[in-house]
Amino acid sequence: MNTFKELVKSRRSIRSYLGRRIDPEKLELCAEAALYSPSACNSQPWKFIIVNDNSAKEKMRSSVFSGLYNMNSFASNAAAYIVLISKKTKLPASIAGYLMRTDFRQIDLGIACSNIVLQAEDLGIGSCILGWFDQRAARRILNIPRLVNIDLIIALGYTDQGPSSERRLKDRDETVSYDRY
């Protein structure tokens, strides 16, 4: 079994997928990992859409990652997707967020996103978080109302290849300090 440290370090963005399907139970585990995430005031300001139906996936493949969004065309080969949508947060979280100049909803979504990709990694499933995709096409395919914004899409799939690039971390002095800025 992986330690948490090993799990965190082994997760990389995977951009090449095998055709193998992902068991629905495993996708459900990924969603569950998201649902157990912490959120400001326990607002749980989210909705996760698991896209695993062949016809929906086919429609996503042909329109959501093409044209202007072609740099993510690799995602067309993913076995499944999880679409992350942020929803209204509780009033105290939204007031606190305003006063702190922090959008807690986005933070909540980011934590949930991290839980999903780590759960996927633990199940041996590769993933890539996508912030660049055809928002309107995805909304149309998934019946998402016009005013609802999709924050992220996670592409998921088994792989027999490693990540496409070396991991490059910023200098540690730049990113971590003790007891002062």
Ligand X SMILES: Cc1cc2nc3c(=O)[nH]c(=O)nc-3n(C[C@H](O)[C@H](O)[C@H](O)COP(=O)(O)O)c2cc1C
Shortest distance, CB of residue 46 to ligand X, whole angstroms?
15
Q: Which is nearer to ligand X, 72 or 86 (CB)?
A: 72
CA atoms within 13 A on the CB side of 133: 29
C-alpha distance from residue 2 to each of 7, 41, 72, 125, 131 (Å)? 6, 31, 30, 14, 28
In this structure, the strands spanning 150-157 and 126-130 are antiparallel
Residue nearest to ligand X (CB): 131
Q: Which is nearer to ligand X, 78 or 128 (CB)?
A: 128
CA atoms within 13 A on the CB side of 92: 6
Question: Which residues lie near ligand X (CB under 6 A)?
Answer: 12-13, 15, 72, 128-132, 152, 163, 167
Shortest distance, CB of residue 14 to ligand X, whole angstroms?
8
Tokens of 137: 């096409």
Q: Which is nearer to ligand X, 146 or 167 (CB)?
A: 167
Shortest distance, CB of residue 24 to ligand X, whole angstroms?
25
